Amino acid sequence: MDVRAGDVLSVRCEPVDARVSNDSPHYVFVRWPWGDIDRESRYRWNGDRAFPRRPDHYERDMDLFCLEPDAADLAVGDVCQVGIPAATVHVLSVEQFDPPQDSGWLPRPTWSLSVMRHGQTFDPDLEDQGCLMYPGGHEPMELELLFRPYAFLEIGDEVVDAEGEAWRFEHPWSWHCSSGRSGTPTWPLTLLARASEPVKGNVVVAETLSGSHKAEEARWRDLAGAQPVVP
C-alpha cells in the first residue's frame, strides 16, 4: 500500500485466539499467533509478546494490538483474543528496509509505519510517541486511506502560488519558500517541476482552483482529531 507522512488511515486486524504463555506482576506474555521465529536472526525472540497489566501503563498507548479479556484479568494458560479494533490513525513517518529488517521474526519486515491514534497530537519535545506498525507481515492488518492532504502533489514538487511565490512541497505541513517567506502557499497553485524536472507549459493544479490550504488542513484536523505538526 502506498502510504506517506500525513495520511489519515483506518486500521483493523481481525482478532484470533491466543494463549497466555507466561506472566509477571506487570505483564502477561501471549504466544504470538502470527509470524515465525527467525532462527538466523541476531536476536532471540521466543515467540511471545508482552502486554502490560496496568491500564495506565505508557506502553498500552504505543500498541494498537490489544487483548480480550484485558491483560489485567489474564493468567498463564488462559485463552484470549488478540487483534486491533477498528481505529483511525495518522501517519508520522514511513520507513523502508532494504534489505529487510532483522527483527527476530519471519517474515522480516520490509517497511514500517509510525502512527498516532485519533485525538493525539505529536509533541516534538517528548520521546516515545505513537505506535509502530509493520504492515506486510503475517498479521492480517487491513489498512484503508481515509484522507491524504495534498494528494494531488508529490513530495518534492515545486509550485508557484497565486501571489507569485515559489514553494517546494516537502510535507503537508512543511513548505519551503524560495524567498524565505514563512507560512503556506496561496491557492491556486501552478506546477513548476516534478522529480526535479521542469514541467512544460502553465500547468495549474486543477484541485487548487477552489479551496485553500486552511480548508485542506481543516479536513485533516476533523479526521485525525489532532493538530498538524511536522514530526
The pLDDT tens digits for 199-218 are 998 899 999 999 999 999 99
Mean pLDDT over all residues of the chain?
95
Residue 35: per-residue pLDDT: 82
Q: List Cβ<8 Å contacts ≥24 apart for 31-35.
A: 32/82, 32/105, 33/82, 34/137, 34/138, 34/139, 34/140, 35/105, 35/106, 35/107, 35/137, 35/138, 35/139
Backbone angles phi, psi at 213, to 5 degrees: -60, -40
Q: Within 10 A of 220 (CB to CB), how many other CB atoms are there?
A: 24
Residue 202: per-residue pLDDT: 86
Cell numbers placing 16: 484470533
Kindly report, residue by residue over 53-76, the tens digit of the pLDDT.
999 999 999 999 999 999 999 999
Q: How far apart are CA 223 and CA 225, in angstroms?
A: 6
pLDDT at 185 over 90: yes
Kindly report, residue by residue over 97-154, the tens digit of the pLDDT.
999 999 999 999 999 999 999 999 999 898 889 999 999 888 999 999 999 999 999 9
Average pLDDT estimate for 12-22:
97
Task: List, in order, residues 6 or more apart from 215 with CB less than 8 Å away.
Answer: none
Domain boundary assignment for the chain: 8-147, 158-224
